[in-house]
């Protein structure tokens, strides 16, 4: 079910990890951002849009992780965009002769058969010089960074005051680092600074996973993510409501992600020390 969060901006929340699809109204139709997740949810989304007389005229994937690269035949054949870095990462995957098996290996086993892969990852990369999504609708600014995944981008729907944050600023997930990066914590801190730079223009924040929030909560989410990162980097005291006994029911696995990140960062540090 789509619900309106701002004028001409609607959100659909999937049962899988509170994944959020954003639909923005343009002159001729809708811009669809990170549609997902299960096939029946995507089919319902398509039915809801077309049932209300709307056509999907463009799509956008915020980053190259499987749950942000999905599509459905019912959504049509509109151009789908991502950053050049996102497109390159997806293109590298799709060029592999066994890409479907590689993707299937990372899908949650309980819903793997429900995930449509027929139009998976068919996106066009936008050059670094492209400041806004090319479509006939409200101005949508592309804020590219390297946190969480190469070629990640947040989108600011400027005329509506809506920030689509991709996999950042979640109330249920801690910052999830790209441990393949040379400096994953600094990449994330740099991205937070970019988002903080537009926070004053935000009335509604839509994270990739978790609850939508209003302007008065945006800075608090930025501060919470920054506190997590600094504690992880500097070995400080970590008190985060998304972890341990404070975690939301059903989200206890986030603590495992956190512990895995600590181990990964420790291995990176050991390699750096040995190389030095």
Report the CATH number at residue 48: 3.60.15.30
Tens digits of per-residue pLDDT, 192-202? 999 999 999 99
The predicted-structure confidence for 214-237, as pLDDT tens digits, reads as follows 999 999 999 999 999 999 999 888
Q: Residue 270 has what pLDDT?
A: 80
**Predicted local distance difference test score (pLDDT) of residue 238:** 92
pLDDT tens by residue, 74-107? 999 999 999 999 999 999 999 999 999 999 999 9
DSSP H helical ranges for 149-208: 184-198
CA separation for the pair 78, 99 (Å, rounded): 23
Structural domains counted in the chain: 1
Class of residue 149 by CB neighbours under 10 A (exposed 0-12, middle 13-18, buried 19+): buried
Position 255 scores a pLDDT of 97
Indicate if the pLDDT at residue 276 is higher than 70. no
Per-residue pLDDT at 179: 96
Residue 273 has pLDDT above 80, yes or no: no
Whole-number pLDDT of residue 272: 66
Structural domain for 86, as ranges: 2-275
């Amino acid at each position: 079910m789509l619900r309106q969060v701002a004028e001409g901006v609607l959100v659909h929340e999937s049962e899988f990890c509170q994944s959020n699809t954003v639909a923005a109204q343009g002159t001729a139709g809708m811009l669809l951002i990170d549609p997902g997740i299960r096939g029946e949810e995507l089919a319902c989304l398509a039915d809801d849009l077309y049932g209300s007389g709307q056509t999907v005229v463009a799509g956008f994937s915020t980053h190259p992780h499987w749950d942000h690269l999905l599509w459905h035949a019912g959504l049509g054949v509109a151009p789908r965009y991502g950053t050049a870095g996102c497109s390159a990462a997806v293109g590298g995957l799709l060029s592999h002769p066994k890409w479907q098996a590689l993707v299937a290996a990372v899908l949650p086993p309980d819903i793997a058969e429900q995930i449509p892969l027929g139009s998976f990852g068919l996106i066009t990369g936008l050059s670094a010089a492209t400041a806004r999504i090319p479509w006939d609708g409200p101005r949508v600014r592309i804020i590219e960074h390297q946190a969480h995944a190469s070629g990640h981008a947040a989108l600011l729907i400027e005329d509506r005051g809506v920030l689509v944050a991709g996999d950042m600023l979640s109330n249920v997930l801690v910052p999830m680092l790209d441990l393949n990066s040379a400096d994953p914590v600094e990449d994330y801190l740099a991205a937070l600074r970019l988002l903080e730079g537009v926070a004053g223009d935000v009335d509604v924040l839509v994270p990739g996973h978790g609850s939508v929030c209003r302007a008065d909560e945006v800075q608090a989410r930025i501060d919470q993510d920054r506190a997590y990162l600094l504690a992880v980097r500097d070995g400080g005291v970590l008190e985060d409501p998304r972890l341990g006994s404070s975690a939301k029911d059903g989200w206890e696995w986030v603590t495992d992600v956190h512990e895995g990140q600590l181990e990964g960062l420790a291995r990176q540090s050991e390699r750096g020390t040995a190389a030095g």
